[in-house]
Chains A and B, each alone.
Chain A
C-alpha cells in the first residue's frame, strides 16, 4: 500500500518533469562515460606497465670508437674490459639482483637494428662499428637499475647504463596525463550532474509543494515525504548510468578490441571483463550521486 503510493508519486514526478529528467539522464550518461573511460585508461596503463616493465631490460653499453662519454676515450672496449664487466655481473655483489643477462656483439646489435628499422633510410647508414656492444640485463626487481649504475658506471670501457623503463616512463606519462584529463572532465561533469539533479528535484518538490505542505501538516514522516523524490533522482541517474555502462562496454568491444587490438596486435588491451568490472562502479556512482544530491535538495523543504 505504502510502497504503491510512493511509487505512484515517483512516476508522477518523473512524468511531470520529463524534460529535466531527460537532461539528468544525459548528463549522468556522459559524465559517467568519462569516468568509465578514465578508469579503463588507468587499467590499460597498469596492464601495459606490468607487461612492459617485466620485459624492460637494463643495457650496459660498452664503448665504441666514436664514443667520448662515460669511461670511453674513442676506443672500442677491450675484451679485458668486457670480461671485467661480465665478471662483475656474475660476482657475489650483483648476482642476487640479476635474473639473466646476455652479451650482444656489435654484429648482433647491427642485425637487430636492421631488423627493427627495415625499410627505413637510417638502416642503410648504420654500420656495425657505430653500434656499441652491450650486456642486456634482466633484473629480478626491475626498479633496482640504480644498483647496476652504481656498480658498473665508473668502469673503464663502459659507455653508459640505460634502463629501458626510462623510455617507457615517457609513454606512460602521456597516457597518465590523458587519463587525468578524462578524470578532470569527469569530475566537472559530475559536479554539473549533481547540481542538475538537485535542481530537478527542487523543481519537482516545488511543483508538489501543496502536497508536501499538506503531508507535513497531517504528520507524514520526513522519510515518507523524501523517499519519492530521492527515488526519482536515483531512477533518472540510474538510466544515465546504464547508458554509460553500455557506452563503456561498447567502446571496449568495438573500438579497443575491434580496432586497436587489430591495428596493434603486439600490445595487450583491456578486455570485456575489465569493462564489465567498470559497469557496476558506474551504476553505484550514479545512484549514490543522485541519492545524495536529491537528499540535499529535498531536505531544504523539510526543515521544521
Chain B
C-alpha cells in the first residue's frame, strides 16, 4: 500500500534532514498512528505520501505506483486516490457544507448526478445529514472536522491521511471523530493519522510509528503512545540500540509486495 525505502528528505537551506533513512511498509486496511514531537518529521512523511514534496533520496511506492516516476502532470490524478484531513479543517467559508463536499467532486469533473448521490451519502457517513445547507461558521469544531472528513472520503479514497485531526478539539469531540475514523477504516480505507493525543493512541491500541528527529524509533502493533511492546521493526534505524527493546518481531511485513 505504502512503502518507503531508505527515504531521506532534506529541505533546502537546512542542514538537518526532516526524514533520515526511513523504511517502512503500511498495508492495506491498516490504521496507523504517527507519533512524535513537533518537527520530528510526521508532516514531512504525510507530504511525501501525497507527493507534495519529493524525497532527497530513497524510493516511495504508494498504491503500487512509484512516486518518483509520476510526472507532475499526473500528480493530481494520483491524489484522487488519497483523502486528507487537517487540524484546521480547511473548509471554504463561503460554501455550504454540501458545496464544500461537492467541491471536491466538481473539480475532478464528476457529473452532477454522481455528486447528488455521493455527497449526501458521505454526509450521512459522518453523521451530518440534515446540516447540508449550513455554513462552516454555523457549525461546531467537531462538526467542521466531520465535514472535512466527509470531503476527504466522498471520493472513496484507498488511503486517508489525517494530520492531527483532533488537535483543535476537546476530548469528547475527539472521541467522536476517532469513532468515525475507525468506522471508515473498518470499511477498508487505510488510515494514517499523525497525532499528539496520547489518550487516543493508548485507547485504540493500533499500529504506532514513533518518529524522532526524522528517524523511526519505534514501530509496533497494538502499541500505546509511550509503551514499547511488540515492535514491528527491530532494526535500530540508526538509533542507540539500548533505546530499543529487543522483543520478538510481530508479523513483520518483510515480503509483502505492492498490494493495494
Interface residues of A (CB under 8 A from B): 1-2, 5, 210-211, 213-222, 224-225, 304
Contact = CB atoms under 8 A, between A and B. Distances in A.
A205 B50 CA distance: 22
B256 interface: no
Contacts of B84: 217-218
A5 B73 CA distance: 21
B91 to A, nearest CB: 9
B108 A220 contact: yes
A214 B111 contact: no
B80 interface: yes
Contacts of B80: 218-219
B90 interface: yes
B90 A214 contact: yes
Contact of B77 (A5, A219, A304): A219
Given A1-B111, A5-B106, A214-B104, A219 B79 contact: yes
A69 B244 CA distance: 111
Given A210-B90, A211-B92, A304-B51, A218 B109 contact: no
A115 to B, nearest CB: 76
Contacts of A215: 107
Nearest to A12: B94
B230 interface: no
A211 B112 CA distance: 20
Contact of B73 (A218, A222, A225): A222
B104 A218 contact: yes
Contact of A1 (B79, B103, B112): B112
A64 B103 CA distance: 93
Contacts of B235: none
B79 A217 contact: yes
B174 to A, nearest CB: 23
B2 to A, nearest CB: 17
Task: Determine which residue in B78, B80, B107 has the highest number of CB atoms from chain A within 10 A of its CB, and name it.
Answer: B107
Please name the 9 residue pairs, one residue from A and one from B, whose CB atoms are nearest each other, closest first.
Answer: A219-B79, A220-B107, A219-B80, A218-B104, A304-B72, A219-B76, A221-B76, A215-B107, A304-B75
A211 to B, nearest CB: 6
Task: Determine which residue in A214, A216, A224 has the highest number of CB atoms from chain B within 10 A of its CB, and name it.
Answer: A214
B148 to A, nearest CB: 10
Nearest to A218: B104
Contact of B76 (A1, A210, A213, A222): A222
Task: Determine which residue in A2, A216, A218 has the highest number of CB atoms from chain B within 10 A of its CB, and name it.
Answer: A218
B218 interface: no
Given A210-B90, A211-B92, A218 B108 contact: yes
A224 B107 CA distance: 7
A224 B110 CA distance: 13
B151 interface: yes
A222 B71 CA distance: 12
A177 B188 CA distance: 75
B107 A218 contact: yes
Nearest to B54: A304
